[in-house]
Every structure is written in structure tokens, then in C-alpha cells.
Amino acid sequence: ENLLRVHTVLDTDHGPALLMELARGGSLGRVLQARGALHPGEAVTVLVGAAAVLAYLHSLNVCHGGVSPGNILFTSSGKPLLADLGTAGLLGTERTSAASKEGDVLALAMVGWLILTGRALPPAERRLPLSVLVPDLPAALAEVIDAGLQEDAELRPDAAEFARRVFESIP
């Protein structure tokens, strides 16, 4: 539901090209440039949608490999869509390892940090707790973002668990 639709693959002089759904709402990157940060409820909408796509891709043994604010787009009604899988990922020619899947979750947690703080993620040794930077943030949301940012990939939730925990974090 939150994966940008591919209508067809076209052969061009430069190789395969994808004809994709138009996301009239622009990118998360542009929204953040305009607003700085999102409210927790808005962040949950974005993060759950993107994490659900990652869980789906991972179940097919496909890694996104490029989760970023520029690759999260919006429909004209504000529904988030994860985009820019790349031709190899969409055509099923590139498979992934568990480490790549965990990298997708880390990248999404980094996007979560940016969405909630309006700031890029600092190095772990200089990072203040998310709850200090965003005092009104529900504790459960701060905890799942922190879990997704764990340096040890084995301590991070998988994409499905990340989606579930983010969804349940707002009462």
C-alpha cells in the first residue's frame, strides 16, 4: 500500500527505465525543509508506512538500500510512499542479506530521528536522548527509534517489529 507503484518497465537506449506512479505531494525532504520537524502523530504515519514496505520487501528477500527523506514521497492526500528501489531491486535481480535488511531499519530510524528533531543524527557519543530533544514525545516512540539506531545490528528490531512498535507508540 505504501510502495510507489511501478506501471511498467520500458526498454530505452540507456537500459531499462521504470514508468512509476506520480507522487504529487512531493518528498519528505521538502516537507522537512519547509517545516523543520513533524509532530509525533505525523511521524508515526510516515514511519509505519515506510516500515511496512520494508517488511514486505524483506519478506521477498529484497533490500531497499536507500531509505532517505528524498525517497519517501507523498500522494496529493498525504499518504506516504517509499520510492527509489532501483531497477535491480524491482526486477528481482538483486537479493539481500540480513545485514542489508538491518541497514534498511537503521536508515529508517535515522529518518525518524530527523523527522522528530529536525536535525541530522549526530554520532552516538554526542547524541542526547530523543526524549530530551523532543520533550512531548511518547516514551514508546522514543524507545523504538532508539532501538532502530542500535549500533549492534542484532539488537535492532526487524522492519515488521519496527512498524508494529511505532504504530503502537501513540495512544
- pLDDT greater than 80 at residue 5: no
Rounded to the nearest angstrom, the gap between the alpha carbon of residue 138 and the centroid of all alpha carbons in its chain is 19
- The string over 41-62, giving b where at least 16 C-beta atoms fall within 10 Å of a residue's C-beta and e elsewhere, is ebbbbbbbbbbbbbbbbbeeeb
Mean pLDDT score, 153-162: 96
pLDDT at 171: 81
Mean pLDDT score, 47-72: 93
Quick one: pLDDT band at residue 3, thresholds 50, 70, 90?
confident
- Global pTM reads 0.86
Q: Which three cell numbers stand for residue 36?
A: 523543520
List, for residues 72-109, the tens digit of each pLDDT value: 999 989 999 999 875 435 445 455 567 788 899 999 99
Q: What percent of the chain has pLDDT over 70?
A: 91
Q: Following DSSP, what letter does each residue of 110-144 receive, concatenated?
A: HHHHHHHHSSPPPPGGGPPPHHHHSTTS-HHHHHH
Q: How far is CA 117 from CA 18, 69, 93, in A?
A: 34, 14, 37
- pLDDT greater than 70 at residue 145: yes
17 vs 70: which has the higher pLDDT: 70
pLDDT at 168: 97
Residues sharing a CB contact under 8 Å with residue 151, sequence separation 6 or more, in sequence order:
124
Mean pLDDT score, 45-67: 93
CB-side neighbour CA atoms (13 Å) of 58:
23
Query: SS3 for 6-46, per residue?
Result: EEEEEEECCEEEEEECCCCCCEHHHHHHHHCCCCHHHHHHH
pLDDT at 93: 44
- pLDDT greater than 90 at residue 2: no
Mean pLDDT estimate for the chain: 89
- How far apart CA 111 and CA 118 sit, in angstroms, is 10
List, for residues 13-40, the tens digit of each pLDDT value: 999 877 677 778 889 999 999 999 999 9
pLDDT at 101: 86
